[in-house]
Structure 1
Amino acid sequence: MLATFGLLVLMVLPSVIGIVRERRIDRQIREAQEARGRGEEKQPQKSSSRSTVPSTATWYAEGRRSKKLVNS
């Protein structure tokens, strides 16, 4: 009888763990939607004002790549 009960627990346990996990995820999604509805969403990340210039290594690699394409 005890072995049968143990097998039953082993077979039901993954389902119970999955149900608990799904409920937690649903709650997190619901809380995020409510926060978004109240306007508590994060501000978008600001881009830096510095202009980006490719490094010498990037420039050199691009030059060699284009030469390989022309030669082949």
Structure 2
Amino acid sequence: MNGNQIEALVGMLATFGLLVLMVLPSVIGIVRDKRVDRRIRQAQEDRGERNRPSQKSSSRSTVPSTATWYAEGRRSKKLVSS
């Protein structure tokens, strides 16, 4: 190996080292988030087994939507004007 090849190798290793230093915190954060999510999911499953309700309720909200309120308002105006 001559001087140019050694210099290129050192440059590539330095670039690779900087890339690793920049990416490593993100990878550590992703792994940590996954671990926390897994613990939360496990705790919810454990709590769900202990507090199992006798009857399941629907997940849909019973509050009318904005479209329903708007339609009811228009209907009531028609009734008042007639």
Per the normalisation by structure 2, the TM-score is: 0.48
Residue correspondences, number: 40
Q: Any unmatched runs of 5+ in structure 2?
A: 1-11, 52-82
- Note the C-alpha offset of 1:23: 0.2
| Runs of at least 4 residues off by over 4 Å | none
Q: Does 1:16 align with 2:16?
A: no
Give the corresponding residue for 2:49.
Answer: 38
| Aligned Cα root-mean-square deviation (Å) | 1.1
Please identify which structure carries the higher helix content.
2
| Letter of the structure 2 residue corresponding to residue 20 of structure 1 | V
Per the normalisation by structure 1, the TM-score is: 0.54
Give the corresponding residue for 2:14.
Answer: 3
Task: Give the number of the structure with larger relative contact order, counting CA–CA contacts within 8 Å between residues 6 or more apart.
Answer: 1
Q: Percent identity?
A: 77
1:35 alignment partner, SS class: helix
